[in-house]
Amino acid sequence: MPPTPDTAIEVRDLVVDRGKKPVLKGVSTAVAAGTVTGLLGPSGSGKTTFIRAVVGTQKVKSGTVEVLGRPAGSKPLRSRVAYVTQDASIYPDLSVKANVAYFAALYGRGRSEAAAAIERVGMADHADHLAGNLSGGQKTRTSLACALVIEPEVLVLDEPTVGLDPVIREELWDQFRELARQGATLLVSSHVMDEADRCDRLLLLREGRFIADDTPADLRAATGTANLEAAFLHLIRDLERAD
């Protein structure tokens, strides 16, 4: 295996149109390996489109997206990058266990790894339940287990904590931190500001452009605010005044 480059995700001048509407208007950033990067922004700002471009399922108009030094979505990346979509992408007519075992098997992993992933997301008690009968948060956790099971080098998560209770949210963030500590790179979109503080770096997307690309501490310092929510409001108001 080639050595992991320091930059895990590199995006240059990415432009994406959906229909005739521009969604991403030339964004660039570099995500360092072994970090947790938060992608924040109001709904409709282009977070999901950005994430889909990183995993290579989004048609792009121009610009480049490279993951682990290769074009996003290219074949060698498919066993190294995992993607958790916003709506739990699992099979409702399969049990939790069968769902996770299926995705595990696609990557050549076995039942014990699947069981461990189910345990990690706290779904062991529901392993034999049909996914279609689970609550929204349980579906999300099952979907997450389907990604964790492959121990990806890059884990891309689109709003993974929506609808989860605070305890589980806390546990998941602990896991994200732990994965990063072990060397994985995580890109997590969220619109919950208190999650932003658990990221190493923040990308704030607004109307298809990054209005901030910084560490939480630097963001607070630059805007002279105590919390990130206030920092973002400050940035947005500055922009609106400039318009």
Please report, as ranges, the residues that interact with other proteins according to CB under 8 A: 18-19, 55-59, 73, 75, 78-79, 81-83, 85, 87-95, 98, 102-103, 105-108, 130, 146
Q: Which two tokens stand for residue 160?
A: 């993974």
CB of 134 to other proteins, least distance (A): 14
Residue closer to other proteins, measured from CB, 82 or 199? 82
* Tokens 């461990």, residue located: 116
CB of 64 to other proteins, least distance (A): 14
CB of 136 to other proteins, least distance (A): 14
Task: Pick the closest to residue 201 from 179, 182, 185 (CA basis).
Answer: 185
The Cα 36–Cα 52 span in angstroms is 17
Residue closer to other proteins, measured from CB, 105 or 168? 105
Residue closer to other proteins, measured from CB, 82 or 148? 82
CB of 190 to other proteins, least distance (A): 19
- 55's enclosing H/E stretch is helix 47-55
Q: Give the pairing of strands 70-71 and 21-32.
A: unpaired
Neighbours of 71 (CB within 10 A): 13
Residue closer to other proteins, measured from CB, 100 or 196? 100
Neighbours of 101 (CB within 10 A): 23
